[in-house]
Structure 1
Amino acid sequence: MADNYKYIGKYVPMQDIREKVTGKLKYVGDMKLHGMLYGKLLLSSIAHGIIEDIDTSQSELLPGVECIFTYKNTPNNKYNSHKWYEGHKVPEDETMFTDKVRFVGDKVAAVVAKDLETAERAISLIKVKYKELTPVIDPEEALKESSPKVHGDTNLIFSKELKYGDCEDEFSKAEFIVKDRVTTPKVHHAAIEPHICLSKIDEFNNITVWSPCQGIFQIQLIVSQALGIPKSKVRVIKTAMGGSFGGKTHPILEPISAYASLVLKKPVQFSMDRSQVIIGTRTRHNMIGNVKTALNKEGIILARDIDVLVDTGAYFTNGIAIAMAMGKKISRLYKIKNQKYNVNVVYTNTPVGGPCRGYGSPQIHAITEINIDNAAKMLNMDPVELRLKNLLKPYDKDLGGGTDIGNGRVIDCVKYGAKAFKWKERWPKIINNGRYVRGVGMACVTHGNGYFGAYPDFLTTYVRMDTDGYVTLKQTVQDLGCGTVITMKQIAAEVLNIDINKIHAAEGDTLVTPYDSAGTQASRVTYVCGGAVKKACELLVKKIINYCALILHCTEDKIVMKNEMIWCKDNTSYKLSYKEAAIIIEDKYDSALEITNTYTSQANPAVYAADFAEVEVDTLTGLVRVTDLLAVHDIGKAINRTLVEGQIQGGAQMGIGYALTEEIKIDAGGNIKSNTLSKYHLINAPDMPTVKIILIEEGDEYGPYGGKSVGEIATNGIAPAIINAINHTLGINITTLPATPERIISALKEKKKLSLYRG
């Protein structure tokens, strides 16, 4: 799409890229405060049990140990680490420490010492006596009345049915019904920076917490609640972050670090190693989905029934939110007039589920898109053609939510993608080279742009043009390493027609930056936060024009602002620089060129992607390589092409891992078998195909310059596209992720048995 923008839609590097690549950027781990102490955690080694005794005597004798914290000497205030505003109603079942451990990785004790080595040594000397209880690991077992209970008297903590139309009637007369059971795993976020934070107390007992987090006001709320102190006594400063992918949304260490600082009156830094992060923080929820779809012989979907069991692990966190988020997605992709979605959320004695890139979309789309491909197989139809018969068109109504989908371009994604990928030529041809077999598959997915209509979704932005001609932009953003700050600067620079390097912008600080109701989550940053910047800057332009019309003795409609100069169309010989205008306005009119504006999200349009994959399968070992990948995204407008393409490539890497290798494996006793990166297998650079990208840029009414989200949807469709490619290539039906070599070989053996049985 041609445009005359100076910054929007361009390739612009991140604001801190030079500091990152030269090692100059300071993370929490680089911070050293006078008298700073170091904290480490002791995590539970059993999945379920009562702590009968904690012997810390040997640790206390160790020189350099300042204090040891357990459930005996810390507040017992309950909280939910997913709660992000005061009125947020969520079950509260977490405490700082506990006398009943509920998973391998639960917090048992903390040591604070003068150096990290002493803290780690002291942790190893603590002896814990447990009364072991029987754990429940399988979510289906957790549903049974006879199962061990994680909390209270039931493991079923949330149940909901959403439906519209008449599914039962359509299924009773359907010509074709296709059923699938799809299982998705717990996975680790694998951010390069493990969890860490630093707290400091001042002379007035105010606590400052430095945290690489996704929501400073959420951290402030939970710290205050856990410690039982007013929010105003807690200041949270967002620091440089080495990735998150949702894993640093919830405060894990912050309440403990803050309390230790409060007690010891010294700065305290807490950190976790990789193994602790894998087992003791958050995971992507594992799920079991049973789906059946009714179709007619032309391939029109008549009805769909989806039943999902969500394993939230040992604590509730965002169990309701993830369940409902999936329910919102199923009516925003295909035009299905009759649909039922039933979801149950259960506790198990396993690592805790939480926000993870995609927020339920990778799971629900794996469940439904594998099923769609199997429907195409049953009808002997091209999977692309089947999808095109049923996909929603721009501004179609979301039958489940009542609103329309906005300018959603999923059909364009599929059509352009199929053409570029040469789908019609490649899909019918399975390339069989004996041991190695190649074939293709695809999937369509959707996602959202914030919380509009579900939760409070607003923020305040402050923008000021200073008397030096530079601009100060204050907004509570949390850059996860994906370029949030530079995106906001691009939008501001475009509106104000100013050199982007003259805009000063920083990240969130609860004492300095204005309030934001939701933080960096729900794919809301470009759409909502970017919209807030654009609106505030437009109001500033209006204010500048208003004053300059007075200065230049001109009507407002004749004022021109361009290249940091202001003039009247009727008199181009006299021009004011931005700097001169700001000085005159301050001196003559007793006013600063500043705006504070609260912006509320206006809509939540759908974003879409179609992902196309080619795989090569080694039929001897079951090893799968992704040899070609095309991602087509309906993005509205790419604000920063460097960042958009980077998000899509990174999302592909996570999606490939989700499809093929990544899984937190847990045995029957609740022990974590993949608690290091040598056992938890990420997709590395040599495993990655070239990721080809096509952007569909047709704009959106409310998005800044038409922009929509991309960060989460980038990973949503990769796994089902790969699984569909594997199944199509081998003639099998893998429905358990990841598709490991063992599972593929097992499926091939089963196929051979069936072939022999059928003669």
Structure 2
Amino acid sequence: MEENKFDVIGQRIPIRDAAAKVTGTKVYVGDMKLPGMLYAKVLHSPKAHAKIISIDTTEAENYPGVRAVATYKNTPQVKYNSALRFIEHQMPNTERIFDDTVRFVGDRVAAVAADTLEAAEAAVKLIKVQYEDLPVMLTIDGAIKEGAYPIHGNSNIVGQAHVDAGNVDEVWDQCDYIIEDYFTTQPIHHVAVEPHIAIAQWEYGDKLTVYTPCQNIFGFRVILSQLFGMSYNKIRVVTPAIGGAFGGKLEMTIEPVATALSKMTRRPVRLEYTRKECITSTRVRHASKARVKTGFMKDGTIKAMDLKLYTNTGAYATSALNVAGAMSHKVFKAYKIDNMRFHVNPVYTNTIIAGAMRGYGSPQAYFGMERQFNKIANFLHMDPAELQMKNMVDPDSLDPCFHKPHGNPRPKDCLKRAMELIDYDKICKEQEAAKNDRYRIGVGVALGVHGNNCFGAHRDVTTLMLKMNEDGSCILYTGSHDMGNDNVGMQKQIISEVLGISLARIDTVEADTDACMWHLGDYASRGTYVVGMAAKKVAEEMKKELQKEASDLLKIDPETIILKDDYAWDSNDESNKVSIADVMLHCQKDSMRELNCCVTHPAPRGPSSYGVHIAKVCVDMETGETKVLEYAAVQDVGCVINPLALEGQLAGGIHMGLGMGLCENITYDENGTPKETGLKKYKILRASEMPKLYLDFIAEGEGESGGPYGAKSLGECPVVPAPPAVVNAICNAIGAEINDLPADSSRVKEAIASKKN
């Protein structure tokens, strides 16, 4: 990283609410209690696919303390898509609040609202339901085979995304070698610390307020409007705080249920899912099945690549087509491969609904690509890092689809720095020295790429408002939902840098549809590149206004005024200064005006962020147990706004990616019932199982055009290279291939045994 040239940007600043979180004073939705609040409980389906023949709620309705029971018979039967982002968003509408058909174990059947949670829990068990079983499709292969029973419409294939670059079929004959492999990735859960929870309050004046830790308040408002036939001024959605999301709270889950019950009772209704309900009845990452075919030359030059994927979207469409579309462009950003083809079909199955999750399709697509790169390197007796370096894009490379610059991609710089951090030559020698031992050392390299916004897919716009107070402090009104990464703190840093107002004198109003300007939502890693740039723009507009007012007091031209340390300074005479508080007093008392600035910022382009990870593992050849010993991760971020926050995000992304690579998984029995329904069986890595981390960031030159100070995203990208990096390391240790995730001890043992046989 270059030497810091800013006052606030680049400083190691703790997240704004760290003290409140560790002292337990941070207020989450789960801490809220409204007058007259009722408690809700949902009855979930024990069937993977069935028609509800009858449903008897009499006993539940008569249970003491019960105020309402909701089913498909007394709630809106409007079909919707829970992943809808904005009013004109076109997506397959396959969901209802409650339906007369259940399509996975965990689907909603009914819900109860009662005076106490205990009463709701008891009453929901009294609901009697008769089902008529329907054919169950649990796998992609079963769902797409000829004659398979359609879960929706006439086909279990939701749609497709297809992108071509060059002419793959014409190039195969020019290649020295062609390799073709099949890869699978598993469904995994987000495991946010905070469960899914919502409080809905439908008042007698037909004003609805929903408190929810979601990632898209304005998108949720659109869906609620569609479901309940209300205009937007009658719907307020507020996100007080989020205890982790990772994409799992981008799509609407329980909010319509709480709203329906609140409408029925005209009282606030709180609905909170247990950990089991979160795992089985909200969202998982799309499982995938991929075929990757690559043509290459003897010197390691990749000439052509053909990727064909199926993704498992579960029981409902939700973001199936969005994820497919995102995949279809991100795979073209990594390498100088002029001839490339990508095709993906999302598929319905009778399994847990798949939706947005950190990486949004990139981990599934890049797992097969990066595994095959490792296989090619071994086939050519070439170092994997050398093969990567040979084929990675350069800063001046063009996108093979659109023949436009990628921007300022720096994967090669990431690779070089990662090799330095982990002492790559040394650990490769350790791998060679241990190749005949019981405890093998393995080294794996992988590249990951992720976008910075939704440019090219749909509109990507953010509007921020900044208001000055008469004491020189200010309030930022932002639609951003802070998910723990201090995205709002980043906006404050940028405003502080531009206006010279100390961070302690900048406060925020956040994530409230009635109080904030329209915001697309917090996903697609758009926080820094898009929202950060909006913060810079609104601060620059305010700076002009402050300079104009200060010029009256300092008797100089506005352009010569510097804002710094809560003062307005004469750039030619440091003794000529005035506090911003006095500037604002003059503004109100003499100029007779308030200072409010509002800026709408559309994403100007869609650059990519890059990361290269190198894993060193130790594998027990007898038990298949893998321990990740050391891990280097270097990310291309353009400009480092807050290194402390970035390091935390990067470490968290590695943890999530290693979990995907090594242990996390949801499996089903023959009836479609999930087996891993709690954290005793759903294995996530403990802190003690994490390796020694070497972390750094590449911020070269002017960074990424269009970003604030050249900055671009980090949040999702670190998840992408982690699974293939660690699996490549395992495969290089044991000398066998693993193409299915997770690479747990049983799968490693199978690979070792297959090699022996």
1:435 paired residue among 434, 438, 455: 438
Deviation (angstroms), 1:174? 1.4
Q: Which residue of 2 aligns with 1:490?
A: 493
Q: Which residue of 2 aligns with 1:512?
A: 515
Deviation (angstroms), 1:116? 0.7
Deviation (angstroms), 1:144? 1.6
Structure 1 CA distance for aligned equivalents of residues 676 and 571 of structure 2 = 68
Matching of residues 357-368 of structure 1 within 5 Å: 357-368=358-369
SS across alignment from 2:466 = strand
Contact conserved, 2:166 with 2:400, CA < 8 A, in 1?
A: no
Are 1:193 and 2:194 matched, yes or no?
yes
Equivalent AA in structure 1 for residue 497 of structure 2: E
SS across alignment from 2:510 = coil
SS across alignment from 1:682 = coil
SS across alignment from 2:583 = helix
Q: Give CA-to-partner distance per residue, 1:200-219, whole Å, 9 cap, x none.
A: 12341100000100011011
Are 1:746 and 2:747 matched, yes or no?
no
Deviation (angstroms), 1:435? 2.8
Deviation (angstroms), 1:567? 3.8
SS across alignment from 1:746 = helix
Contact conserved, 1:283 with 1:356, CA < 8 A, in 2?
A: yes
Contact conserved, 2:475 with 2:509, CA < 8 A, in 1?
A: no
Q: Which residue of 2 aligns with 1:369?
A: 370
Q: Which residue of 1 aligns with 2:301?
A: 300
Structure 2 CA distance for aligned equivalents of residues 15 and 651 of structure 1 = 21
Structure 2 CA distance for aligned equivalents of residues 86 and 369 of structure 1 = 38
Are 1:261 and 2:265 matched, yes or no?
no
Q: Give CA-to-partner distance per residue, 1:513-533, whole Å, 9 cap, x none.
A: 1111x2100000011111000
Q: Which residue of 2 aligns with 1:530?
A: 532
Structure 1 CA distance for aligned equivalents of residues 576 and 659 of structure 2 = 61
SS across alignment from 2:159 = strand
Structure 2 CA distance for aligned equivalents of residues 423 and 3 of structure 1 = 28
- Do the aligned partners of residues 245 and 693 (structure 1) sit closer, same or farther apart at CA in structure 2, a change above 3 Å counting? same
Q: Give CA-to-partner distance per residue, 1:310-350, whole Å, 9 cap, x none.
A: 11111001111111111111110000010111111111111
Structure 2 CA distance for aligned equivalents of residues 55 and 157 of structure 1 = 34
Matching of residues 327-338 of structure 1 within 5 Å: 327-338=328-339
SS across alignment from 2:294 = strand
2:548 paired residue among 546, 549, 555: 546
Equivalent AA in structure 1 for residue 474 of structure 2: V
Equivalent AA in structure 1 for residue 440 of structure 2: V
2:605 paired residue among 603, 606, 609: 603
Equivalent AA in structure 2 for residue 747 of structure 1: A
Structure 2 CA distance for aligned equivalents of residues 688 and 511 of structure 1 = 43
Deviation (angstroms), 1:104? 0.7
Structure 2 CA distance for aligned equivalents of residues 116 and 610 of structure 1 = 48
Contact conserved, 1:652 with 1:691, CA < 8 A, in 2?
A: no
Equivalent AA in structure 2 for residue 666 of structure 1: Y
Are 1:53 and 2:54 matched, yes or no?
yes
Equivalent AA in structure 2 for residue 592 of structure 1: E
Contact conserved, 1:77 with 1:228, CA < 8 A, in 2?
A: no
Q: Which residue of 2 aligns with 1:114?
A: 115
Structure 2 CA distance for aligned equivalents of residues 530 and 395 of structure 1 = 25
SS across alignment from 1:304 = strand
Structure 2 CA distance for aligned equivalents of residues 504 and 419 of structure 1 = 41
Are 1:681 and 2:692 matched, yes or no?
no
Structure 2 CA distance for aligned equivalents of residues 9 and 551 of structure 1 = 32
Are 1:454 and 2:454 matched, yes or no?
no
Q: Which residue of 1 aligns with 2:628?
A: 626
Deviation (angstroms), 1:360? 0.6
SS across alignment from 1:589 = coil
Matching of residues 716-731 of structure 1 within 5 Å: 716-731=720-735
- Residues 226-235 or 67-76, more deviating: 226-235
Q: Give CA-to-partner distance per residue, 1:364-397, whole Å, 9 cap, x none.
A: 1101100111111121111111111111001321
Q: Give CA-to-partner distance per residue, 1:161-200, whole Å, 9 cap, x none.
A: 2112111111123111111101000000000111000011
Equivalent AA in structure 1 for residue 751 of structure 2: A
| TM-score of the two chains, using structure 1 as the length reference | 0.97
Contact conserved, 1:103 with 1:350, CA < 8 A, in 2?
A: yes
Contact conserved, 1:391 with 1:410, CA < 8 A, in 2?
A: yes
Q: Give CA-to-partner distance per residue, 1:102-134, whole Å, 9 cap, x none.
A: 111111000111011111111222221110112
Contact conserved, 1:238 with 1:509, CA < 8 A, in 2?
A: yes
Deviation (angstroms), 1:62? 1.6
Structure 1 CA distance for aligned equivalents of residues 521 and 406 of structure 2 = 24
Structure 1 CA distance for aligned equivalents of residues 210 and 456 of structure 2 = 32
Equivalent AA in structure 2 for residue 515 of structure 1: W
Equivalent AA in structure 2 for residue 440 of structure 1: V
The ranges of structure 1 where at least 4 consecutive aligned residues each deviate by more than 3 angstroms after the TM superposition are 567-574
Matching of residues 371-390 of structure 1 within 5 Å: 371-390=372-391
Equivalent AA in structure 2 for residue 511 of structure 1: D
Are 1:702 and 2:706 matched, yes or no?
yes
Are 1:177 and 2:178 matched, yes or no?
yes
Q: Which residue of 1 aligns with 2:582?
A: 580
Q: Which residue of 2 aligns with 1:40?
A: 41
| TM-score of the two chains, using structure 2 as the length reference | 0.98
SS across alignment from 2:617 = strand
Contact conserved, 1:427 with 1:441, CA < 8 A, in 2?
A: no
Deviation (angstroms), 1:484? 1.4
Equivalent AA in structure 2 for residue 347 of structure 1: Y
Flag structure 2 segments of 5+ consecutive residues without an equivalent: none
Equivalent AA in structure 1 for residue 561 of structure 2: I
Structure 2 CA distance for aligned equivalents of residues 101 and 153 of structure 1 = 17
Matching of residues 347-426 of structure 1 within 5 Å: 347-426=348-427
Matching of residues 224-243 of structure 1 within 5 Å: 224-243=225-244
Contact conserved, 2:38 with 2:115, CA < 8 A, in 1?
A: yes
Are 1:503 and 2:519 matched, yes or no?
no
Contact conserved, 1:485 with 1:506, CA < 8 A, in 2?
A: no
Percent identity between matched residues is: 38
Equivalent AA in structure 1 for residue 158 of structure 2: I
Contact conserved, 2:554 with 2:578, CA < 8 A, in 1?
A: no
SS across alignment from 2:601 = strand
Structure 1 CA distance for aligned equivalents of residues 315 and 712 of structure 2 = 35
Q: Which residue of 2 aligns with 1:278?
A: 279
Equivalent AA in structure 2 for residue 89 of structure 1: Q
Q: Which residue of 2 aligns with 1:143?
A: 144
RMSD over equivalenced CA pairs, Å: 1.3
Are 1:481 and 2:484 matched, yes or no?
yes
Structure 2 CA distance for aligned equivalents of residues 159 and 240 of structure 1 = 36
Structure 2 CA distance for aligned equivalents of residues 606 and 162 of structure 1 = 18
Q: Give CA-to-partner distance per residue, 1:643-680, whole Å, 9 cap, x none.
A: 10001111111111101110111123211111111111
SS across alignment from 2:135 = coil
Structure 2 CA distance for aligned equivalents of residues 51 and 563 of structure 1 = 67
Q: Which residue of 2 aligns with 1:70?
A: 71
Structure 2 CA distance for aligned equivalents of residues 235 and 115 of structure 1 = 25
Contact conserved, 1:285 with 1:312, CA < 8 A, in 2?
A: yes
SS across alignment from 2:406 = coil
Deviation (angstroms), 1:497? 0.7
